[in-house]
Structure 1
Amino acid sequence: MNTIKSHFEMHLRFRNGIFLLVLVLLSSILIFVFYPYSKETPHNLVELTEFQNQIDSLKRIAAIEKEEVKLKLFNPNFISDHKGYQLGLSVEELDRLIAFRNEGKWINSVSDFKKVTKVSDSLLEVISPLFKFPEWVKNKSVIKKDLKKKYMVKSYDQKEDLNEITLELLRKELNVPDFVAEKIIKYRNEIGGFISDIQLKDISVLYENQRKKILSRCTVKTPREVKKVNINKASVKELLEVPYFDFEIALEIKDLVENSGSISNFDELGKINGFSLEKIDRIALYLTLK
């Protein structure tokens, strides 16, 4: 009798157990592969769709706001750095405009803008339709005609006091534009009253012919009392009492005096970097050299 058993011979219960284990493993693999996608995929698609819709909505809002910025009219005299970037102006073109405005001058036409900034014709053609000038500029032909009218210069006794002149008189009797008249009164209040007629030059919106017309009827009769500051001995605090000086200029003047020993002429202030002598005749009203 053959008593040798095969190495591969296995009890029936073991074979059934192994077969059941294989079925369990295959079922687990199939569940792991297919079941998650059947549950999670629809959920992810919904979230992605909602997220994309939000992005599209934000893009539409940004496009609308951008379009509104492009179409909004503006005065080219007041272009900020950000506005200049939006319009496509170069740094040099914007610097020319700012330097021009710092001189107290105004751009009153498209041709003025091109002359000052030197922008290209192609860019000017795009942005010039957005320029909005004040009404008095639009009617400049009428204004020029009025400015050419002769006016009688009154004597000192007949003139109104520039420190007491009213907004109404400036508007109605001297035909000064409302915003210019308001600037004159506001500036007079800010400095505590005029010291001299030449301080009307500080009103940047006041044209030379308008200034002469006002002075034909008005003059400073009650000048504000001012204790002049000795520029060679003044402290920084005392220099700050001069309306035309800020803290930085006061420090520069103090350094100039200390380095020079003393200032013998107000024109020497021109040595200070960035200091303009354009207003030196008004500045001198508040200063003394001795």
Structure 2
Amino acid sequence: MNFKSISPYFKFTNHQRKGIFSLFIIIIALQFFYFFSDFNQAEKNCPEKQEWLAFQSEIDSLKAIKYNEKPKVYLFNPNFISDYKGYKLGMSIQEIDRLFAYRKENKYVNSPEEFQKVTKISDSLLNVISPYFKFPNWAQNKKTFKTYTAKSFSKKENFTVLDINEASKEDFMKINGVGEGLSTRILNQKESLEAFVSMEQMSDVWGLSSEVIDELKKHFRVLSSPKIKKIPINDASLKELALFPYFRYALAKQIVTYRSMNGDIRNIEDLINIKGFPVEKANIIGLYLEF
């Protein structure tokens, strides 16, 4: 090989040699810096981020075991079963239609016996599905409620009935047993919900006795359809759901988990299947939600 032909490429001036030497020194310095430096930056602690990561981890773990578990049957109110729910329970189309016709008359079944009488299901099917029936507390104490009502309303009284959503603190204080404190609680409860949709919600106000609630029902009604900004149940965040008085954080978390694992919530029946949902208040809660 003729080295003379390539030797000119290796001849450098004094200035060039100094430049090459300086570049060599810089490369070595950068290698030492890279070798001895720790480029791992500690992430800033963010409580909200940690909480959401933990919550997402919990959802992922539930998804992982979902397909290995046997389907669970939760307690439900048979008044609100859908076509699909009835089919899954083993009911025929005719039996489901009988229940729907009964409900269209604004009637409710309050016991397994009534459910069988309306739907005409067999004894064997009733024995299988009735352990999962969950009726409101007032339905279980039906006899006591009727007797009390007869005594309370035996006398006819003449008074002006006011719209509960238009009443003032002074209007409430005219009722025996309602002072300034209880009147304020009623108004605060209405404000948290935007409006009352039923007089049955008086039982949700802390401190009201049954006698006072009966008096309130005599003097107040929901006389007009209140304007309520309904909660989009499938789009609302955990924080938004937790602010709703009937949900709070624990149930709101269950709803978000249910959405993540099963998709959109289609109706109140889906919500009833969620653990911890107040079934006895389903009719009222449904009026505040948008599906």
TM beyond 0.5: no
TM value normalised by structure 1? 0.39
**Which TM-score applies when normalising by structure 2?**
0.39
Higher relative contact order (CA 8 A, sep 6+): 2
